Amino acid sequence: MSEEMKNEMIESVEDVTTEKTAEVQGGEKQEAEKKYTDEDVDRIIARKIAAERKRMSKLFNEEQQESELEKRERAVLLRELKADAKDMLISEGLPSSLAGLLNYSSKEELSQSMAEVSAIFREAVQQGVKEKLRGETPRKGTGVSLNAEKALANAFKPGAR
């Protein structure tokens, strides 16, 4: 830098410091202080509150719209999961009315509850079939007696008539 520029900078700094010292005389500030009346403060606060309410209202409306959209998306997903579950039940040979017993919170939960319900239903069917096929054990002496067999044999003998 040239000597001349340095001198100009020093002079401008000195001018600024002298202006500041001129503002302060006898320990009092000469700066203009802003004074607000109660009405001014009330108006300022009211404007700030109104602006904040408007901003919060806008945010609330956006959140509400997002919430409604999420609800719709969940409803569509639930319908799709129920349709898939009914198809899976039918393809496995199970009644579609079992779809009401399944957990539709997520696809993983659906497949897990489907496996559990399917296993329980099949086990119950097996037990029912075994119960029906089991029947009663034959009692002693309930078979055809020997005398009845002889009477039948004699009745159908050739020449018995």
pTM of the model: 0.44
**Burial (Cβ within 10 Å: 0-12, 13-18, ≥19) of residue 84:** middle
Sign, Cα dihedral of 115, 117, 122, 124: positive
Cα separation, 71 vs 27, in Å, equals 68
Supply the angle between the helices 38-91 and 107-134 in degrees, to the nearest 10.
Answer: 40
- Is 99 in contact with 89 (CB distance < 8 Å)? yes
Quick check: 25 pLDDT over 70? no
- Is 81 in contact with 104 (CB distance < 8 Å)? yes
Q: Which pLDDT value is given to residue 44?
A: 93
pLDDT band (50, 70, 90) for residue 36: confident
Sign, Cα dihedral of 16, 18, 23, 29: positive
Quick check: 14 pLDDT over 90? no
Q: Which pLDDT value is given to residue 35?
A: 84
Lowest mean pLDDT: which of 20-24, 104-108, 140-144?
20-24
Cα separation, 126 vs 134, in Å, equals 12
Lowest mean pLDDT: which of 14-23, 76-85, 147-156?
14-23
pLDDT band (50, 70, 90) for residue 17: very low
DSSP 34: P
Average pLDDT, whole number, for the chain?
A: 78
